[in-house]
Amino acid sequence: MASTNLILLGPPGAGKGTHAQYLERELGVVHISTGDMLREAVAEGTALGNKAQEYMKAGQLVPDELVIELAKERLGKRDCPVGWLLDGFPRTIAQAEALSAIVDELQMPSPLAVNMVISEAEVVRRLSGRRMCRNCGTIFNLHRDNIDVGDPCPTCGGEIYIRSDDRPEAVRERLRVYQRQTEPLIDYYQQQAQLITVDVEGKQEEVSQHLLAAVRSKDVKRG
């Protein structure tokens, strides 16, 4: 079977990062998160990070040309031909078109997009409870894990914090941005028959397994 290349499409709070980690392990693909890469750039104070910072804080998208360049560079690295999973990219039609050109240029199999479906109420509940470890990056949830700012990270003892874009105003803006700019990608990939749809509102382990099964069965059909 050819290498598997995947795109996770879904609103903030759909669980892209968490399920991506599972699929990475199960499928042996490389997990590429543009959000993580951008947060790293911000933390390191690189030129890219300095440009991206204000957009991210406000819950807006970083300009296409910056993110496209970042993705292109990453997909060109040596570990990518085994297969990859993009988490948070593409997020606009321009990014999707750029991705398709990158994939052609690198002669990689065209990606399968996974449409992660979840209600808005659940998204808001999850994002408002999201807590992260500054040290190891593990994501927790106040409602589910009962871990809050001030507690030590159960995994590494690191400091727990709230992402600046998880504040309520920024959450609402990210949802609007998703609906306006990213949702059109569902039709885009549907038209190319490169889309599968999975309900992601349920329990994390079950959803991860559904996602894996859906990807595997579509992959077999595509050959």
Burial of 40 (0-12, 13-18, 19+ CB in 10 A): middle
149 binds Zn ion (CB under 5 A): no
Give the one residue of 133, 147, 207, 211 binding Zn ion; rule: CB under 5 A.
133
**Cβ-based nearer residue to ligand ADP, 11 or 83:** 11
Fill in the DSSP letter of residue 223: -
Nearest-angstrom CA–CA distance, 116 and 207 = 10
CB 12 within 8 A of CB 117: no
**Cβ-based nearer residue to Zn ion, 84 or 140:** 140
* Interacting partner of 135 out of ligand ADP, Zn ion, none (Cβ under 5 to 8 A depending on kind): Zn ion
82 binds Zn ion (CB under 5 A): no
Token pair for 175 = 């949802």
Q: Which residues are catalytic?
A: 16, 91, 130, 163, 174
- Residues of this chain that interact with ligand ADP (CB under 6 A) are 12, 16, 34-35, 38, 55-56, 59-62, 67, 88-89, 91, 95, 165, 174
CB 124 within 8 A of CB 201: no
139 binds Zn ion (CB under 5 A): no
153 binds Zn ion (CB under 5 A): yes
Beta bridge partners of 163: none
Q: How far is CA 195 from the centre of its chain?
A: 16
* Interacting partner of 158 out of Zn ion, ligand ADP, none (Cβ under 5 to 8 A depending on kind): Zn ion
* 155 three-class SS: coil
Which residue stretch of 4-12, 55-63, 95-103, 136-144 sits at the interface with Zn ion (rule: CB under 5 A)? 136-144
The amino acid that residue 123 corresponds to is V
135 binds Zn ion (CB under 5 A): yes
